[in-house]
Structure 1
Amino acid sequence: MTNSFKDKLGQGGYGGVYKGKLQDGCFVAVKVLKESKGNVEEFLNEVAIISRTSHVNIVTLMGFCFEESKRALIYEFMPNGSLEKFIYKENPLIADRQLGWETLYKIAVGIARGLEYLHRGCNTRILHFDIKPHNILLDENFCPKISDFGLARICPGEESVISMLGARGTVGYMAPEVFCRNFGGVSHKSDIYNYGMMVLEMVGGRKNFDVSVDCVSEIYFPHWIYKRIELDEELGLQGLISKEDEEIAKKMIIVSLWCIQTDPSSRPSISKVVDMLEGSLDSLQISPKPFLSSPPRTTVDSSTATMSL
């Protein structure tokens, strides 16, 4: 299928991803997990959960291999790869890959619709727990698809809060209640926080927490952009060339700032997020200022990890 793994698409902490071709000519992405006896639960979890899904904004699992220590997942092939390749200014290829604001907006709406399906469209609610640019894949038309369900959890029945022994997700995107229960219960609102942090990175073209910037006030992007919105100042963002672009950026920012509220009950549902994004800018109110800053990024946040408390 992969011609002896000749065409490598990417590498992560889990293993490598290779381009393959089925006998009917259909291209696939084969995610080969590192050979070990660990993470079997995560692998089986991903197969079990994603096989329940069918949505235009959720990546399609076409098959899998589970033979002793050998494990692989076979997905539909996404020609444009993952979202992070297109949004961070430090990426040397960004000059060739800069996405317009209309495209960024459509991607944000598509991801929200995928999350809405997971939260409300399945027969059981699915919580993803790791929404971030690396886990959003783009097809040839830049239609976004949520991928990587290794940390996902099924929420039985109508329960909104679930019990969880440890924190799960990626540093910099995790909701505060996921790593500290004093902030509230873990629920579908934790995915909303992930989503908000990701969209702010799409808007800013940078990591939300960045110690390399010149001005101290810019280190934590959500606080910096909140002040700009609050004072109705120029946004100072790259690529704003029209009034329509500026309206799109403001809408994405205001919605994202609601999503990253510290109190889970203050965050909108994902259906409300879709309504806000697709509604008028004039109908949106500015949220209270999110008072938490992102924890400093470390080398472990480049890959998904489950952390014990």
Structure 2
Amino acid sequence: MQILHFDIKPHNILLDQNFTPKVSDFGLARLYLADHSIVPLTAARGTLGYMAPELFYKYIGGVSYKADVYSFGMLLMEMASKRKNAKNVERSSQTYFPLWVYDQLSKESEVEMEEVEGERELIRKMVIVALWCIQLIPDNRPSMSKVLNMLEGDIDKLQLPPKPLLT
């Protein structure tokens, strides 16, 4: 059996006394067989801004563990940019957050990404991995084990994914 959390976001990541992250709030979670790649759902689950597009648009693909990969990517992007998804501009409808982050990365803007001395490579790696995690098509997203390998690996081996699009 595997767990599909459906609500990975900053409020549901707790730190213990050793600052080890722990996932909490399994209220929306579902158990499913590991050999089943698609999970049947009757309604969208999660928090806006962290929900994978396939939860809204069935034509994108079936719901699978890749929905949690998407949520993790949004969380990682917020951590790297040090900004909340909905508060990246004065009017949140003005810019799609992942597109804004992609543009900051491609410009290598030091001011907008609020870089702390010596963190430039780490921030760049986190953003590239996050952008892979939020690919529109679930099959184009990496598995969580691949995400961990990318985060632990050499930044020179990472390629920038295609620009994130809503359509």
TM-score, normalized by the shorter chain, greater than 0.5: yes
Count of equivalent residues: 167
Match of 1:249 among 123, 134, 138: 123
Match of 1:153 among 11, 15, 30: 30
Instruction: Tell me how far apart the structure 2 counterparts of residues 254 and 239 of structure 1 sit (CA, whole Å).
Output: 15
Q: What is the CA distance between 1:210 and its match in structure 2?
A: 2.4
Task: Calculate the TM-score normalised by the size of structure 2.
Answer: 0.91
Letter in 2 for 1:238: E
Match of 1:175 among 52, 62, 72: 52
Task: Calculate the TM-score normalised by the size of structure 1.
Answer: 0.51
Q: What is the CA distance between 1:182 and its match in structure 2?
A: 1.4
Instruction: Tell me how far apart the structure 2 counterparts of residues 239 and 291 of structure 1 sit (CA, whole Å).
Output: 25
SS in 2 for 1:168: coil
Q: What is the CA distance between 1:135 and its match in structure 2?
A: 0.3
Identity of aligned residues (%): 51
Instruction: Tell me how far apart the structure 1 counterparts of residues 32 and 105 of structure 2 sit (CA, whole Å).
Output: 36
Check 1:186–1:210 CA distance in 2 against 1; reply closer, same or farther (3 A cut): same
Check 1:195–1:215 CA distance in 2 against 1; reply closer, same or farther (3 A cut): closer
Does the aligned pair in 2 maintain the 1:229–1:235 contact within 8 Å?
A: no
- Per-residue displacement from partner, 1:256-301 (whole Å, max 9, x unpaired)? 00000100010000000000000001000000011029xxxxxxxx
SS in 1 for 2:3: strand
Report what 1:280 is aligned to: 154
Does the aligned pair in 2 maintain the 1:204–1:221 contact within 8 Å?
A: no
Report what 1:188 is aligned to: 65
Instruction: Tell me how far apart the structure 2 counterparts of residues 156 and 251 of structure 1 sit (CA, whole Å).
Output: 32
SS in 2 for 1:167: coil
Check 1:265–1:235 CA distance in 2 against 1; reply closer, same or farther (3 A cut): farther
Q: Does 1:229 align with 2:84?
A: no
Report what 1:130 is aligned to: 7
Q: Unaligned stretches of 5+ in structure 1? A: 1-123, 294-309
Q: What is the CA distance between 1:201 and its match in structure 2?
A: 1.1
Check 1:266–1:198 CA distance in 2 against 1; reply closer, same or farther (3 A cut): same
Does the aligned pair in 2 maintain the 1:192–1:267 contact within 8 Å?
A: yes
- Per-residue displacement from partner, 1:217-258 (whole Å, max 9, x unpaired)? 6x433212212323444363224212xx11110000000000
SS in 2 for 1:261: coil
Report what 1:266 is aligned to: 140
The CA RMSD over aligned residues, in Å, is 2.1
Structure possessing the higher relative contact order (Cα contacts under 8 Å, 6 or more residues apart): 2
Counting only pairs closer than 5 Å after superposition, residues 54-65 of structure 1 correspond to structure 2 as: none
Report what 1:57 is aligned to: none
Instruction: Tell me how far apart the structure 2 counterparts of residues 278 and 128 of structure 1 sit (CA, whole Å).
Output: 23
Report what 2:79 is aligned to: 202
SS in 2 for 1:209: helix
SS in 2 for 1:186: coil
Q: What is the CA distance between 1:156 and its match in structure 2?
A: 1.5
Does the aligned pair in 1 maintain the 2:88–2:97 contact within 8 Å?
A: no
Q: When you count strand as a share of all residues, which structure comes out higher? A: 1
Letter in 1 for 2:131: L
Does the aligned pair in 2 maintain the 1:138–1:144 contact within 8 Å?
A: yes
Check 1:214–1:292 CA distance in 2 against 1; reply closer, same or farther (3 A cut): closer
SS in 1 for 2:45: strand
Check 1:235–1:290 CA distance in 2 against 1; reply closer, same or farther (3 A cut): farther
Does the aligned pair in 2 maintain the 1:228–1:235 contact within 8 Å?
A: no
Q: Unaligned stretches of 5+ in structure 2? A: none
